[in-house]
Amino acid sequence: MNQFLKGCNLYLVGMMGSGKTTIAQILAPQLEYRYFDTDRLIEQVAGQSIPEIFAESGEAAFRELETKVLSELCAYTHLVVATGGGIILNRKNWSYLQHGVVVWLDVPVEQLYQRLEGDTTRPLLRDPDPMAKLRSLLDQRQSLYSQADVRVIVGPEDAPEQIATGVLSEI
Ligand code: S3P
């Protein structure tokens, strides 16, 4: 186990609601790694919540902060990082992600929607038809997520501990 990882950072990627934060928090103590979440770091740097950043400065400014935070994390090793769902959009981010092992938590869109229904913390889902929005984001991003080193397919009945074990068996 963990032959692949060898002290490198572990980056969890995937759509909003795919469970990156939950799984990263389970994996970090198991690997004896430190846990970080790029969204929380962005909020600390900006002194604002994600919806405030989007509302006041726009998505492009948010993406710049996302790249800055990711580049700074790359200076460290032995981290488990839960990334924001759009981190895969910027080609520059891949140059940072490639220093570690990238795991895609692949969750069906229906399941994502169930988890995210009523959520007010994701500005991109503030849409008259959030399900259609989720589908279109996933369509745009699927080929980027599939560039991850490892894809873990998550089923509707899978418990977080099981998913974490699935990740560990692949790295
Ligand atoms: C985003 C996902 C969010 C957050 C921001 C944008 C996206 O993170 O970074 O709202 O573009 O998919 P989570 O994936 O942790 O929800």
| Mean pLDDT value across residues 61-86 | 97
Is residue 80 situated within a structural domain?
yes
In the chain, % of residues over pLDDT 70: 98
Cα of 49 from ligand 1 centre, angstroms: 12
1 has pLDDT over 80:
no
Is residue 119 situated within a structural domain?
yes
- Which residue range(s) make up the domain with 149? 10-170
Q: Is 133 in the pocket of ligand 1 (CB under 6 A)?
A: no
118 has pLDDT over 70:
yes
Is residue 4 situated within a structural domain?
no
Say what the ipTM of the complex is: 0.98
Give the separation between CA 163 and CA 112, rounded to whole angstroms.
Answer: 15
Work out how many domains the chain is built from and give that number. 1
pLDDT of residue 3: 62
CATH of residue 106: 3.40.50.300
Give the separation between CA 166 and CA 156, rounded to whole angstroms.
Answer: 15
165 has pLDDT over 60:
yes
Is residue 55 situated within a structural domain?
yes
48 has pLDDT over 90:
yes
Q: How confident is the model at residue 93 (pLDDT cuts 50, 70, 90)?
A: very high
Cα of 157 from ligand 1 centre, angstroms: 23
168 has pLDDT over 60:
yes
**Ligand 1 atom nearest to 66, measured from its CA:** 9
- Closest alpha carbon to 147 in 81, 108, 97: 97
Is residue 60 situated within a structural domain?
yes
Is residue 86 situated within a structural domain?
yes
Cα of 128 from ligand 1 centre, angstroms: 18
pLDDT of residue 60: 97
Pairing of strands 101-106, 79-82: unpaired
| Mean pLDDT value across residues 91-110 | 96
